[in-house]
Structure 1
Amino acid sequence: MLAAGAQIGRFQVQALLGQGGMGAVYLAWDPVLERRVALKAIHLGEDGKASAKTRFRREAKVLAQLNHRNVCQVHDWVEARGSAYIAMEFIEGEILSKVAERLDLRRKLQVLRSIAHALEAAHAKGIVHRDLKPSNVMVDAGGQIKVLDFGLARLVDSASAPGDDPTGDAPHLLRLPEPPGGEPTVVVPATPGPEERTSVGSASPSPASSSWGEVTEAGVFMGSPTYASPEQMCGKRVGPPSDVFSLGVVAWELLLGDYPFPGKERARMTATVQGQLKPLRGRGLPRHLGALLRAMLHRHPDKRPTSRQVAEAIDHHLAGKPAVWWVAVALVALGAVFGGGYYLFGRSIIADLVKETPPRMAVMPIRNDTGDPVLDAQVGVGLTELLATALQGSPNMTVVEPESVNRVISNLRISPADAMKPASQPRIATALGAQLFLRGALSRDPAGQANMLTYELVDGAGQARFSGVVRAPRQGSFAPYELVDPAAKDLLHKVDPLRSNAAQNLPVPPGVFAAYAEGKALFLKGDFKGSEPRLQEAAMLAPAFSSAVSAYAACLRRLGRDQAPAVANWALMSAKATGDRWAEGRALALKAYLAKDLGHLDESQKLREATLTLAQAVGDRDGETIAYNHLGLIAAERGKDKEAGEFYERSLKLSQQTGDQVYLSLAQNNLANLALKRGDLGTAEALYRNNLSLQQALGNRWGEALAQNNLGVVALMTRDLPAAESRLTAALTIRESVGDRVGRITCLRNLGILALMKGDVAESARFHGRALDLAEASGLRTIEAECRFYVAELDRLQQRYSQALAGYRKVFDQLSEGVTPEVRWNAQAAGAECLLRKPRPDVKQAEARLLAIPAREADSPYVHRAKAWLASRTGQRDVALAELARASEDSRRQAPEIRAELETLRAALLAEGR
């Protein structure tokens, strides 16, 4: 170890920068050229040191001639104190593994292109890196990519390598002892067999927890086993293709978040040598990039692209053009293998439906015909979800997320039993905008010795495109994977004949699967208390089973449990660890909902933006639609109506493209809400009426209630009280019948406003009291604050000013800054009015409260009403009348219920002036 101030040749050591397998790295000063350098000590070893020096000098000179903007420049070499040192360019920045999570897809591809260019420059000079990995790639302060340590693995080995073999053959890695530590693990089933390679419960560690799985054993193996090529592991001669393979591993991890080969330690090395690459289907990676990764990671070096071809392929992708080299290779291969047979055997069963966009396919709940009710949940929920997940990723069709199917079934109020009937399923598919749906049933053979999954792919016209049956021997516990994997493989082959086989599931233990399925079934029925222990059991027994952890977190959210955010974090980590991008999106969305529930809008917005980016990366159009809608809700709650409208328009456009009628209606409704808010009643009413017709056609009782409620609000604003009462009563009846608690709160609140407009204060108080009780029980702070505002308004109206003032203060405190700002500042203004109307008015304090209201929130009938009282108390009668006129104008018709009160106050002021 060198101390600060030590002299190595002309270089003055300043500090130790780090220690690695190749030796220590120091920050040093070059007094001749007046620059900082990184000084790397190379351990040559004791044996053969004399012969090593000649080779070291020769190869270091070659490295110094490698001059490229993406390569860390070698400046000099020094032999001092019995060791060798390389003086290199000092780079201020971070290693790739530290910045990876902050990069979007385009930036990641640019990074990979830069690394490929660096390799191209080195290979042109006959230099092979031999140890490419994320810690050998730096991103400097200006965003420039620099690859470090070119050829240093070769230099490290040069001391002990016999003769002068430039290929650097190494010992066979698979014959070395197991490494001592190993990687972090999570609880998963026993090691899978050779056909069980992917799952929502994969045990692959996340990049964050494993530091990209880097293991370096200097002096034993030239390179890091995690990134080594098969030829390196087998001790064979290495060349430029080995670097391309390592870049392929780096690219896989950077783009997908896990390792490309299954298993751990020796099992992983075996898989690497044998070329057992994990499937890419369902990972959301663009097709051309997937083809590039597979080519780079080919087990045979001569079948990998060159580094230049890799850079060109990425260039073509970034430019939006196909990469010529692999398209040509693919066409030649297909021509040789299939020839004219493609037209006989290679046509997809849904080729006529694949036009500008792939058709949407929904997996319907599988029916349990075994006669064993114990399997109801495992079949209807668990088996269905597994099948949908296994089918994701085909470029010829878009599989609707199981969560979306369940949402539609819930919104349409279709019972679980009816959802499994063929008669109900076209209606579900129509609501989802699906042109295809898969239905099936689980039964037993006549002898009762085998389970049989029969399935049928049906188009919108009711025509069966494909049907099949899979059999599996009955075991002690139900094993759905033995049925799902072959069914998914067969279906995907028929849909996309020329692509590789389906990804297969890595099974979780039967008991865990049963607990998850039963808990999820109860959750979907709305029995959150009943589902909690079952989902908790599944999550605790298999913490890497991301679907179970996400469902458990969602259940805790519904129950209002304090630990919901922590479990949502766990769900996110589990999804990242398993590389399940779809599950990662669900976990992020859940965290966004939780943050919004708690009024943390900044956090909710950031999380929603993350889900949007992820959905776009994996091609999840439904996820995009949901994200835009939620971002609109967040913007609306902040009072940013223009921004909210833009988000809703994007959600509307996407839902029109996908044909999802439920999200189409939701976006339409939210746009109508904005029109209502700005006082454009004609537009709002037309949109609400369209929405009502759409919901009634779908048979969506929940959506019908929403439309009826909103039309009731329009009637309130136009003072058509009979129509308002009819609409709102109808909405409340539907919402009570379907168990919509939040919807009931809204209806009760609006009926309270209606009662006040009719002059029945006692009836209004009953409605508002019921609404507040439900809101408090639900734990929804924003809705509770809105209900509390109306209760305080009734106290103020009945001249209970101290009570009203306390209520307004609670509203103001419950709504943090930026959360439904109009309600917050209306409460501030109403509180100021109470101070003015108390027996002993506090004019100074009231005036201070009104002055604190931002100008953008001051044009509100409640604010103008309070200002009228302030002007009245200070003897400014004309100002008071002007403020009352502004309050009565109420261009956005925010407060139709105070119109009569304003008229009474105006009459009193006019009478005083006579």
Structure 2
Amino acid sequence: MQEEGSAGVDDDTARGVGELTGTLPAGLGFRIDDPVEHEREREALAAALFGTAAQQLKIGRFTVLERIGQGGMGTVYAAYDEELDRKVAVKVLRRRGGDGAAAAARLRREAQAMARLSHPNTVTVHEVGEHEDEIYVAMEFVRGLSLDRWISRDPPRPWREVLEVFRQAGLGLAAAHEAGIVHRDFKPHNVIRGDDGVVRVLDFGLARALESPASGEGESGDSRTQMEAERSAGAGELGLSSSSGASTLDEKLTVTGTLLGTPAYMAPEQWLGRKIDARTDQFGFCASLYQALHGQMPFAGNTAAALLDAVLEGRVREPANPRVPAWINRAVLRGLASKPGDRHRSMAALVELLGRDPARVRRRWIGGALLVALVAGGSAALTLALREDEPEACTGFDQALATSFDASRLERAGAAMLATKVSYAGDTWERIGPRLQRYADDWVGHGEAACRAHHDGRLSSTLFDRSTACLARGRHSLDTLLTVFESADAGVVEGAVDAVAKLPDLAGCVDEGRLAAEVSGSSDPEVAAAVAVERERLARARVLHDTGRLDESRALLDEALARARELDEPALLAEVELARGTVAQEDWNAEEADAALGRALATALIIGDAAVAAEAAARRIHVRGTMQVRFSEALVDLDYGAALLERAGKRGTLAWLYFNNAGTLQDTRGADDEARVLYGRALAALEQLGDEDRIEAVFTHSNLAQLEAEHHRFAEGIAAQREALAAAERLYGPRHPMSATLLYILANMLSEADLLAEARTQGERALALEVELHGEDSPALAPHLALLAKLANRRGDYEEAATLASRGLAVLDEPDFFTVRLRHILGEARIGQGRVAEGVASHRAALALARERFAERPAQLAWSYQALALGLLAESPEARPEAREQALHAVELREASPDSSEVELGAALVCLARVEMALGEETAAATLERVAATLAELPFDSPLRAEVRQRQGELDAG
């Protein structure tokens, strides 16, 4: 440390003081690991023993005045900045191992980022430096109390007072997040309430900056193993206090280099060492707010293991303070959700939600009358609802929603779903219950935001009316969905996740750009009200369709169409036709979908509704390109759709819909590179929405996977399919039919990639799930049994193959595609068992059925001819001429079919070559050479090449 002036302590005296302080008993205030404090103690002791003047110590350019605090990260001093004539706080940070230069660099980066942040609710960082191997941060000096001391000084504090203090802290966090800074250790101790009443957050990012390099410099470390070990070991007693939450859990664990945060306030992703972001801070904020409101921590646990279990499972204690309003508890509980994606969309959104104060409103808006009034005349109704002296108070939206949604209704819906006894009903409700609550919370928050924006002059009366109409549609959709759930059956349970995901997007209700882009309708209030009613009817029809109530949905759509024509409102008519086309598309009624979407597109283009036109074009791309295979017309829609999407703003799910459907078009017509790019853009559009998982991503990942697998890029295809399956299991649950379907696709890919062991494992998982879903005798088992039987044949287990194929044939009610496939698989198994005549008979039966049912599918017929040819080849020399005839049929069909790949044609030619070899025909060599030449041009190494080389070797040897 620097010394000032001519007076000082000589070297011998310094040595003596050092020796003395090194031998003093513990408890006298000396800390050998705190060099600044050690130096101060030495100076004071020297002055006392030898009468020398104590020197003024400096940290960098700051003169130390006194020590004002000490914690797990270091010691804080009051100091004087002579250059700028101000008092500052200087924190000297305790080293935690690792490379000093790297630690200093990390700290500088964090502090420099904080220095760029200027907000009233964050402590300002002035300087970061290093002096005599010690890292320090100089920051704004604030006189006041940390929130943990403020909370405990005069408990219990009124909830309004607590809320205002935390609202300020939340504003500081939100500002930091906006600047790209994550705190990582938010807790009451890291917030100070100044004597001036201003609340400031401090210590942003310092925990990560001090992290040992051994743990890496990423956003997270891999602490899962350590945490699981602590759970299994039970950990030690932690002595949690029910009043203040103070405990040894408040000690930071960053010293280990594995965890960033304080356990009692840590989000699940911190415990598990996963990626940390702004939503992690939101969890710590809500844990702190819960503690301040209720005098207890949200999660119970006297050991680290118990606490970790409670946090990961989302077991929040019942709120202890009955005076805290339910809407506050709901907001806090959402911020404590185990999954980051289930929390509030941002810290700013949470702060906005907490900014409501019911006491500031003269009268509250009640029930459905709120929205009816706003649709008819938003600004007039709003004026009645606000106090003239406090116009910013927009509340009552929770009461407005109460007629459609409340806790008891949510509970009834869940009970009805569980009562269906569907095997995955519990998994489904566990996923959609919180989403419904989040939708309701968002509805309230968006309503209040629109109200405030209108009164502040940021949202015109016209746009405010559109906003409230948009919210009305969301509320009616939610109400309809809950009504359906309250009388749930098996079909409702299956479609529940999709139905919740397809609830109207509420973000558009407060998006000024999207509201302004809406096409203006009639200025007649009665007509406008009638249009609003029909749009609500459309919203209900959509929900009914998504939950399997098809007849009711179609009836509502017919009524809406008739009413739209009667009202002569083009914008409404375009929306109705779009809804009708969408329903027809999803029901695979291509002709009806094409007509309705065409009318929607034409009407929307006439009136300039880019969003409706873009969606209609995107959907018609799929109808014409994939469902009807009308490529030239679909490609025209591809160009229209791109222009319309650009006009509509390339937003969210609309962009995904266009790029995904464009990808399927290019995929279907064989433009693989274009399809791959478009699927990638579809996924990128979803990533911009910020959600962890979306059902749309499941479909695009699987589409991409199948594209890659079809072109023998198995590593890429399998990876994409695993992504689709993992997302589906998170969104739908591991026992949902969607997961079973994706698991079956994955097993098929693994089989094609010759990963036979895992293919069998995943195939058996898929079969077991189908049995659980549909029973032992369901026709739905046939594809799974066919796959497993084929795998058994490939590994030479012909007994198992025959058993599985026979079982598959037994569950089919009537002959179909899988009857053909299973008979061929059974034929191969019988031949493998030595029962050749039975095998050939099975192949003949399969071919006869294929010719009867699938004459228009040459690829399927080719496979049947080829299978019979190989069966005849095994039967007897006398059957070889017929085998040659069947093999030639297979080759001819493959050559004529545009759906056949080079590998499939090659397999048919190899079959022909084998027959020619058995017959001793010289043409066999030329046939094999043709296959070899074809395969040589492929960008991948087909297993068929090895067979060609084997057959050529046999010819050479013969």
TM-score, normalised with respect to structure 1: 0.48
Rg: which structure is higher? Answer: 2
Q: In proportion to residue count, which structure has more strand? A: 1
TM-score, normalised with respect to structure 2: 0.46
